[in-house]
């Protein structure tokens, strides 16, 4: 199991740790609900050093990266969200790309996909032009309405807009600070030399208003903002438009997987849903609807067997990718893929063996 | 971690209090603590049968759903409706906020239940 430089701090302060993509990470400190609310109202601090960083440099490498990345490559000082796709248009990973120099970039990929993306790029980019620098960096996210005030107090710098970054001096080191995040709040992500991570973390945490936030609340926050998580809303079975990520595709250029994309998506589409009966919708719960001979059912999410066990007159038409009941919402919500992208008024959820009524709702679940 | 001496426990982290032919059942302090914020409890209805080692409901926190296992055979005679409105009361005091009362069919088999000391030892070993 891999550990960030803050492992022993988490071990002392977190209520529980969790294995996440091969890393020992904090799950919760004060409790998921409290941490969630603190980020929405004040500012929370996350250790997200498990994220993978890969540096890419050179004229040829830039050209290849441009072909692999779905979005426009960022200019220096800018950050772009996008994905790498397989030839069939399904998602290998979603990522941020930082424009370091005109021909130098830093990719920030999901921890569980770092090796996969490195291997994928190795087919196109020379090993001399590419380096996995994950362990060189510690990564702190400061998220919430007070994040701006905090970073400005610690490191005075001229204001940057969302998806921009700057460097600030920190003693003899340099920190990269971007106005990015994964909570639906304003916030910053701070890339620090890994050996300085603990100093900076302890320095910041001494500020009354900053509370540590674990991966539990990181997930409920991104869920409430309907930000996709790889392995859930994004997989090698789904294409970006199915998850509503058209904004991360630069259709004016060529990129791998582009020609295979269904635009608009037909075979499946992500919906926000709200439970009308009592209970909680969880990942893996299935949606059924009355049998519709013309409906094209995509590759079943679960075993074929599961899909044959729908109640008489019904067929399985979808599956839940993430679901929670949050105090901040007072309702049980979920994101779910629906095959064919349409539901009738007869559609039902199966939750722990019981049939439950639901309705579709707008995403995101919070307005920011 | 609290576990009152007046109750009996099972390894699936329910407590039971036997009073004549009535068993009152809830979840333990250890259970509520490991679950985290409880947001929903699904309980049976009055008149439903409970069977030893078979689940009679579900307790769900933000992060997980967990089955409630019955320690006894019997018929549900009362359900604590208050926790439906305030599931977080389970976190506050899991021993006051019982879940169901069951009328026993026969004298219960208590041999597999643990007393407070044995249960606390079991939890410690579980954490180790």
Is B62 in contact with A324 (Cβ distance < 8 A)? yes
Over the stretch B10-25, which tens digit does the pLDDT of each residue have? Answer: 999 999 999 999 999 9
- The neighbouring-strand residues paired with A274 are A333, A359
Distances (CA, A) of A107 to A77, A83, A87, A215, A344: 14, 10, 20, 21, 42
Minimal CA–CA distance to A142: which of A76, A194, A198, A209? A209
What confidence score (pLDDT) does residue A303 get? 47
Q: Which residues pair with B114 in a beta bridge?
A: B9
Question: Are the beta carbons of B40 and A278 separated by less than 8 Å?
Answer: yes
Distance from the Cα of residue A283 to its chain's centroid: 16
Concatenating the DSSP letter of every residue in A42-77 gives SEEEEE-TTSEEEEEESHHHHHHHHHHBSSPPPPTT
Query: Which has the closest alpha carbon to B65: A315, A229, A302, A354?
Result: A354
Asked if the C-beta of B62 comes within 8 angstroms of chain A's C-beta atoms, the answer is yes
B82 touches chain A (CB under 8 A): no
pLDDT given for residue B128 in this prediction: 72
Residue A192 has which token pair? 């620090």
CATH code assigned at B23:
2.40.50.100
Q: Which fold would CATH assign to domain A54-114?
A: Alpha-Beta Plaits (3.30.70)
Q: Does B48 touch chain A (CB under 8 A)?
A: no
Per CATH, which fold does A266-361 belong to? Elongation Factor Tu (Ef-tu); domain 3 (2.40.30)
Q: Across the interface, do A352 and B65 touch by the CB < 8 Å criterion?
A: yes
Instruction: Please state, for a pLDDT cut of 70, what percent of chain A lies above it.
Output: 97
A279/B42 Cβ within 8 A: yes
Q: Which pLDDT score, from 0 to 100, does residue A355 have?
A: 94
Number of domains in chain B: 1
As a whole number, mean pLDDT of residues A225-240 equals 97
Report chain B residues whose CB lies below 8 A from the CB of A15. Answer: 36
Closest alpha carbon to A220 in B99, B47, B39, B120? B39
Q: Which domain holds residue B75?
A: 8-105
Residue B70, pLDDT score? 95
A311 has pLDDT over 90: no
* Mutation for A interface: B1, B30, B37, B88, most A CBs within 10 A: B37
ω into A81 cis (within 30 of 0):
no
Per the CB < 8 Å rule, is B65 touching A280?
yes
* Contact list, B63 vs chain A (CB under 8 Å): 27, 32, 216
Of chain B, the percentage scoring pLDDT greater than 90 comes to: 84
Cα(A75)–Cα(A72) distance, rounded to whole angstroms? 9
Asked if B42 lies within 8 A of A278 by C-beta distance, the reply is yes
pLDDT score of A308 more than 80: no
Q: Do B40 and A279 touch (CB under 8 A)?
A: yes
Q: What is the pLDDT of residue A368?
A: 66
Average pLDDT over residues A277-305: 78
Q: Distance of CA A238 to CAs A19, A252, A296, Å?
A: 25, 22, 16
The whole-angstrom distance between residue A123's C-alpha and the CA centroid of its chain comes to: 25
Burial class from Cβ neighbours inside 10 Å (0-12, 13-18, 19+) for residue A189 reads: buried
Q: What is the CATH number of domain A7-51+135-224?
A: 3.30.1360.120
Give all strands (DSSP E) within A171-216, no chain letters.
173-178, 187-193, 210-212
B30 pLDDT above the threshold of 50: yes
On whether ipTM exceeds 0.85, the answer is no
Domain boundaries, chain A: 7-51+135-224, 54-114, 266-361
* pLDDT range class, residue A302, cuts 50, 70, 90: very low
In a domain, B3, yes or no: no
Angle at A253 between CA A251 and CA A259, to 5 degrees: 60
Alpha-carbon distance A367 to nearest alpha carbon in chain B (angstroms): 21
Contact A282, A298 (CB under 8 A): no
Confidence of residue B86 (pLDDT cuts 50, 70, 90): very high
N-term to C-term CA, chain B: 15
* Alpha carbon distance A82, A74 (integer Å): 11
* Prediction pTM value: 0.91
**How confident is residue A176, by pLDDT bands cut at 50, 70 and 90?**
very high
Q: How far is B19 from chain A (nearest CA, A)?
A: 31
The answer to whether A326 faces chain B, any CB pair under 8 Å, is yes
- B112, part of any domain: no
CB atoms within 10 A of CB A123: 8
* Contact criterion met (CB < 8 Å) for A325 and B65: no
Q: Is B110 on the interface with A (CB under 8 A)?
A: no
Number of residues in chain A: 368
Percent of chain A with pLDDT over 90: 89
Of A180, A83, A107, nearest in space to A140 by CA? A180
Question: What are A121's two structure tokens?
Answer: 């790029």
User: What is the C-alpha radius of gyration for chain A, rounded to an integer number of angstroms?
Assistant: 21
- For residue B96, count other CB atoms closer than 10 A to its CB: 10
Q: Which of B37, B58, B63 sits opposite A352 (nearest CB)?
A: B58
Interface touch B37/A33, C-beta < 8 Å: yes
Please give the mean pLDDT across all residues of chain A: 94
Are the C-beta atoms of B77 and B103 separated by less than 8 Å?
A: yes
A with B: how many residue pairs have Cβ under 8 Å apart?
39
Q: Is the pLDDT of residue A72 over 90?
A: yes
Instruction: Compute the distance between CA of residue A232 and CA of residue A319 in angstroms, rounded to an integer.
Output: 10
pLDDT of A353 above 90: no
Q: Which long-range contacts (CB under 8 A, 24 or more apart) does A252-255 make?
A: A253/A66, A253/A72, A254/A67, A255/A66, A255/A67, A255/A68, A255/A69, A255/A70, A255/A85
Closest residue in chain B to residue A354, using alpha carbons only: B42
Q: A7-51+135-224 with A54-114: one CATH topology? A: no
pLDDT at A301: 46
Residue B51 lies in a domain: yes
Kindly state the tokens that stand for A172.
């003899």
CB of B36 within 8 Å of any CB in chain A?
yes
B17 part of a folded domain: yes
């Amino acid at each position: 199991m891999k550990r960030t430089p803050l492992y022993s701090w988490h071990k002392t302060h977190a209520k529980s740790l969790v294995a996440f993509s091969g890393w020992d990470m904090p799950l919760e400190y004060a409790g998921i609900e409290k941490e969630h609310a603190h980020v929405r109202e004040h500012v929370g601090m996350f250790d997200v050093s498990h994220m993978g960083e890969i540096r890419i440099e050179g004229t040829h490498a830039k050209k290849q990266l441009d072909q692999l990345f779905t979005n426009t490559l960022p200019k220096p000082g800018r950050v772009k969200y996008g994905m790498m796709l397989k030839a069939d248009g399904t998602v290998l990973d979603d990522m941020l790309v930082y424009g370091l120099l005109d021909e130098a970039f830093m990719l920030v990929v999901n921890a569980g996909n770092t090796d996969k993306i490195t291997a994928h790029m190795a087919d196109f980019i020379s090993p001399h032009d590419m380096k996995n620098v994950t362990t060189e960096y510690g990564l702190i996210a400061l998220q919430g309405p007070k994040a701006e005030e905090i970073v400005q107090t610690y490191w005075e710098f001229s204001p940057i807009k969302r998806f921009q970054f700057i460097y600030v001096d920190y003693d003899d080191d340099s920190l990269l600070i971007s106005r990015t995040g994964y909570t639906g709040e304003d916030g910053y992500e701070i890339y620090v030399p890994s050996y300085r991570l603990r100093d900076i973390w302890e320095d910041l945490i001494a500020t009354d208003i900053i509370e540590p936030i674990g991966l539990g609340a990181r997930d409920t926050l991104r869920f409430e903002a309907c930000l996709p998580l790889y392995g859930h809303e994004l997989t090698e079975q789904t294409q970006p438009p199915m998850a509503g990520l058209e904004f991360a595709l630069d259709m004016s250029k060529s990129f791998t997987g582009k020609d295979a994309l269904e635009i608009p998506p037909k075979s499946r589409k992500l919906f926000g849903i709200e439970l009308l009966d009592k209970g909680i919708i969880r990942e893996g719960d299935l949606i059924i609807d009355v049998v519709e001979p013309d409906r094209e059912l995509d590759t079943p999410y679960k075993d074929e067997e599961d899909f044959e066990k729908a109640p008489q007159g019904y067929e399985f038409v979808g599956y839940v990718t993430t679901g929670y009941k949050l105090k901040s919402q007072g309702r049980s919500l979920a994101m779910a893929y629906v095959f064919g992208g349409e539901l009738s008024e007869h559609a039902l959820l199966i939750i722990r063996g019981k049939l439950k009524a639901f309705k579709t709702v707008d995403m995101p679940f919070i307005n920011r | 971690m609290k576990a009152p001496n007046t109750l009996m426990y099972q390894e699936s982290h329910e407590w039971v209090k036997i009073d004549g032919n009535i068993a009152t059942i809830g979840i333990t302090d250890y259970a509520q603590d490991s679950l985290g914020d409880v947001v929903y409890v699904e309980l049976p209805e009055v008149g439903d049968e409970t069977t030893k080692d078979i689940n009679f409901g579900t307790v769900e926190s933000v992060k997980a759903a967990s089955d409630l296992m019955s320690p006894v055979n019997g018929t549900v005679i009362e359900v604590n409706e208050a926790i439906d409105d305030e599931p977080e009361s389970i976190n506050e005091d899991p021993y006051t906020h019982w879940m169901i009362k069951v009328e026993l069919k026969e004298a219960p088999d208590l041999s597999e239940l643990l007393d407070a000391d044995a249960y606390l030892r079991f939890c410690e070993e579980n954490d180790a």
